[in-house]
Each structure stands twice: as C-alpha cells, then as structure tokens.
Chains A and B, each alone.
Chain A
C-alpha cells in the first residue's frame, strides 16, 4: 500500500545528543514537509522540500537540519542546538494536486531525558 512511513515511533534522547527521524514515502510525491506538534497545540512547519536536493526553512527551523537526496526520503535531524526538542514530529508529502492536500505519516514522539 502507498503511504508515508516514519520511524522510530518513539525515541528517547539524552540532552546534548543529535537524533535523526526517518521519513519515507512511496507515493511518488515531489514535496515533503516536517511539522512539530506540542501538547494541545497546532502544527508548526520546520522544513519543507519541493524537489530533490532542495529544501527551505519553515517557521521554526532553528536547531533542526534536513536532507533530500532521494525523492522518497526526507530525514530530519534534531540537533543539540534545539532548546526544547521534546515533541511529536509529523512528516507529510504532497503530490501534484493544486489543492494543497497533504498526506501524513503516523508521527514520531521524541522525549529528551
């Protein structure tokens, strides 16, 4: 079945460590996105990529990095520079439709100990 796969689902990290969250899609979508969700709050855009080897900062990119070496993959690294990394991270993708519909993965919950 086509879809977006995020891993790991749960991740624990010590302060000062970098961690990479995986996002893979087999929908043949060009655009991919990373959002952060904090408890009881909406989604905030971290980074997005419209095409391979290109990506742009979203609203809260500080302390995060991404790469887009393959169309199917858009990993997010949460660096030690991110002051409050504990959150639920959601990856999404969008195909060529003009209406802007996003398809989401099931999310990765990161907890910093």
Chain B
C-alpha cells in the first residue's frame, strides 16, 4: 500500500536558522506530492505541491523537490521565522486511487524561538 514517512519532531530552531524536514514515500506509479501546514488550533493549508518527478514546489520561502530516484520530497526553508511554528504534513495522492484519497505522514511539529 501507499505510505508516507516523516521525521519525528518536535524540531526546535532559532529564528533565521535553516529548516529541513525529511519525507519519503512508498507508492506505485507516479503520485502527486504535497506539503500541508497546520497552525495551532486550525485546519490544514496547502503549502506547496509537485506533480511529477524533478518538479520543485515553492511557497512562502519553502521549497521541496520531487525526487523519484530516492522517493523523497524533503521540505526546506533557508531562514525560518517565529511565525513558521506549526505542524507540517507530507502527503501523497496516487493518480489512480478512487476518490483521489490522500495518504498523510504523521506530521512534524516545528517550533521557532526568537
């Protein structure tokens, strides 16, 4: 079956530090890959996505590249802010899945200290 594995948190950083959150996946074919962000007490928001190999998704200073050879989609940001404190979820959507159901990783909590 499909699965997504993320590094466990919490990840604690100082402001302006470099952030990397690892994400690897198992799926048949060529899934679409996503990063969602969840701020405290809220639902999930799409942060970025990539739909084919070597695509780079980017938004709000975050980037992730779809690496088919390593089945990875690691999230990076060069200089984090306190406002980036949130839980980050990696997810995949197989193209052939009925209902286009997303499979989520367990989430990684990030805490940025001033």
Docked pose: A33 CA to B101 CA in angstroms:
9
Chain A residues closer than 8 Å to B105, beta-carbon distance:
42
Neighbour of B89 across the interface among A42, A48, A107, CB < 8 A:
A42
Docked pose: A31 CA to B41 CA in angstroms:
24
Neighbour of B93 across the interface among A40, A99, A105, CB < 8 A:
A99
Does A99 lie within 8 Å of B101, measured CB to CB? no
Query: Which of B32, B98, B100 counts the most chain A CB atoms within 10 A?
Result: B100
How would residues 89 to 114 of chain B score, 1 for a CB under 8 Å from any chain A CB and 0 otherwise? 10001010011111011110100000
What interface size band does chain B fall in? 20 to 34
Chain A residues closer than 8 Å to B49, beta-carbon distance:
99, 101
Interface residues of A in 55-90 (CB under 8 A from B): 56, 58, 90
Chain A residues closer than 8 Å to B93, beta-carbon distance:
99-100
Neighbour of A48 across the interface among B42, B101, B106, B109, CB < 8 A:
B101
Does B51 lie within 8 Å of A107, measured CB to CB? no
Does B43 lie within 8 Å of A105, measured CB to CB? yes
Chain B residues closer than 8 Å to A100, beta-carbon distance:
32, 34, 93, 100, 102
Chain A residues closer than 8 Å to B14, beta-carbon distance:
none
B83 at interface, CB cutoff 8 A: no
Does A56 lie within 8 Å of B99, measured CB to CB? yes
Does A41 lie within 8 Å of B32, measured CB to CB? no
Chain B residues closer than 8 Å to A98, beta-carbon distance:
95, 100
A112 at interface, CB cutoff 8 A: no
B82 at interface, CB cutoff 8 A: no
Neighbour of B43 across the interface among A56, A94, A99, A107, CB < 8 A:
A107
Docked pose: A56 CA to B34 CA in angstroms:
23
Nearest opposing residue in chain B for A101, CB measure:
B46
Chain A residues closer than 8 Å to B98, beta-carbon distance:
50, 56
What's the least CB distance linking B50 to chain A, in Å?
Answer: 9
A43 at interface, CB cutoff 8 A: yes
Docked pose: A101 CA to B36 CA in angstroms:
10
List the interface of chain A (C-beta within 8 A of B): 4, 6, 31, 33, 40-43, 45, 48, 50, 56, 58, 90, 92, 94, 98-107
